[in-house]
């Protein structure tokens, strides 16, 4: 089983979906933010406060390669930070090393999830604006990068179970007996285009 990378904005459900997908595949689950916290003993906010966003991005990229290296042979489901795609080398690395799924969610859905999550304040603001403006701005900037990076796009508005069923169908193939049956109404996946552009700023 190849490495499986999940990309998408904060609060799109990468951790929840990743854990469910890993369990169904019998693979380890890794969150690059959690891995970085374990390795450094610092939260994202603490790293940004000490080293700025460029310093965090550098460590984030190192965490991506470290987690992939640890599971290169046996495979794993790896959930990445929302800004992982900002680095062109990260985008190319994920596409080359495994299968990349983009969990797509609207700005409105992301704002609703972040507003109801007391942990949301732990990650520093990227723009210094209110949450609605920030989410809309960041999503607009990063959307092309998510699409360029991903081999497949999944609708994050669906339940984790439905999302995983669709991911498994794409991974196993529709004729594979291991692939789950997905209701016709649930097949709302669009394949993303190949990468061809540069990064935007954080």
SS3 call for 29: strand
Mention every residue, 6+ apart, whose C-beta is less than 8 A from residue 71: 3, 27, 28, 30, 78
Which parts are annotated binding residues? 11-16, 33, 57, 82, 123, 142
| Residue labelled with tokens 């669009």 | 190
Per the annotation, where are the binding residues for Mg(2+)? 15
HEC letters along 145-186 = HHHHHCCEEEECCCCHHHHHHHHHHHHHCCCCCCCCCCCHHH
Q: Strands 98-104 and 152-155: what pairing?
A: parallel
Annotated binding site for ATP: 11-16, 123
Rounded to whole angstroms, the Cα distance separating 135 from 125 reads: 10
- Which of 8, 4, 12 shows the shortest CA–CA distance to 29? 4
Q: Residues marked as binding for substrate?
A: 33, 57, 82, 142
């Amino acid at each position: 089983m190849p490495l499986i990378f999940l990309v998408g904005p904060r609060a799109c459900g990468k951790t929840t979906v990743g854990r469910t997908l890993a369990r169904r595949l019998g693979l380890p689950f890794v969150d690059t933010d959690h891995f970085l916290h374990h390795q450094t003993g610092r939260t994202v906010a603490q790293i940004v406060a000490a080293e700025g966003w460029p310093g965090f991005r550098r460590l984030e990229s190192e965490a991506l390669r470290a987690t992939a290296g640890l599971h290169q042979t046996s495979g794993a489901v790896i959930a990445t930070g929302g800004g992982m795609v900002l680095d062109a080398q990260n985008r190319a690395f994920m596409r080359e090393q495994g299968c990349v799924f983009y969990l797509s969610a609207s700005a409105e859905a992301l704002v609703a999830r972040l507003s109801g999550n007391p942990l949301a304040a732990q990650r520093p603001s990227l723009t210094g604006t209110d949450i609605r403006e920030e989410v809309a701005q960041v999503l607009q900037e990063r959307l092309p990068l998510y699409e360029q990076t991903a081999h497949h796009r999944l609708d994050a508005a669906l339940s984790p179970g439905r999302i995983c069923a669709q991911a498994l169908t794409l991974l196993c193939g529709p004729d594979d007996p291991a692939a789950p049956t997905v209701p016709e109404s649930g097949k709302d996946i669009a394949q993303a285009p190949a990468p061809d552009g540069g990064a935007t700023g954080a």
